[in-house]
């Protein structure tokens, strides 16, 4: 049976970069954020979002993700309402994807809120990616054109590294990408993953 490696880390930790490296090494990767974007375009999910958040966050019937982010990243209760809609849909999407990759020994499930959502319980192994807070803030400000305050608000909504690490099997420090990649290779050796298996 295919084993699931849960890959997580706070915003700006560079977990998507690490996920890409797993993919380069032949391990299939599911990015929960991409899965979330896909399911949020389905009629079933958009109807639920309209019911809870109203039609004001839609422009010509298309969800304005920026408007939605302004609501949910400033209010924990609103974020929980959104997660209650999106998480079950992503779970279903991942299960379908997993079925398509069942001939692999391991796959990676990359999610920012792996612990917060409780999905870590469904993973065989969990890896947390870390980086110094200032580095993370700088990366996100540059990547998303956010203010420092916006980044800090999003960080507040997530678990801190200490809490994540306490529940993880492995930790990758992504301050130096070359060293981080070496750590990925080391983890693969420990897990004895047969790479590039089709």
**Binding-site residues for ATP, please?**
12-17
Strand partners, 173: 130
Distance CA 63, CA 40 (A): 8
DSSP secondary structure string, 136-183? HHHHHHHHH---HHHHHHHHHTS--HHHHHHT-SEEEETTSHHHHHHH
Residue numbers in the known binding site are 12-17
For residue 195, give the nearest of 7, 22, 75, 77 by alpha carbon.
22
């Amino acid at each position: 049976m295919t084993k699931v490696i849960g890959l997580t880390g706070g915003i700006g930790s560079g977990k998507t970069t690490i996920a890409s490296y797993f993919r380069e090494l032949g391990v299939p990767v599911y990015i929960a954020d991409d899965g979330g974007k896909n399911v949020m375009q389905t009629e079933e999910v958009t109807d639920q979002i309209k019911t809870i958040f109203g039609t004001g966050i839609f422009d010509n019937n298309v969800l304005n993700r920026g408007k939605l982010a302004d609501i949910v990243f400033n209010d924990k209760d609103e974020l929980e309402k959104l997660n209650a809609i999106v998480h079950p849909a992503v779970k279903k999407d991942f299960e379908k994807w997993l079925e398509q990759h069942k001939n692999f020994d391991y796959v990676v499930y990359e999610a920012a809120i792996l612990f917060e959502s409780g999905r870590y319980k469904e993973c065989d192994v969990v890896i947390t990616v870390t980086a110094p807070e200032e580095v993370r803030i700088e990366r996100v400000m540059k990547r998303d054109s956010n203010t420092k305050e916006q980044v800090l608000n999003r960080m507040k909504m997530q678990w801190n590294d200490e809490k994540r690490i306490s529940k993880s099997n492995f930790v990758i420090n992504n301050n130096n990408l070359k060293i981080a990649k070496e750590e990925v290779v080391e983890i693969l050796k420990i897990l004895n993953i047969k790479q590039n298996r089709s």
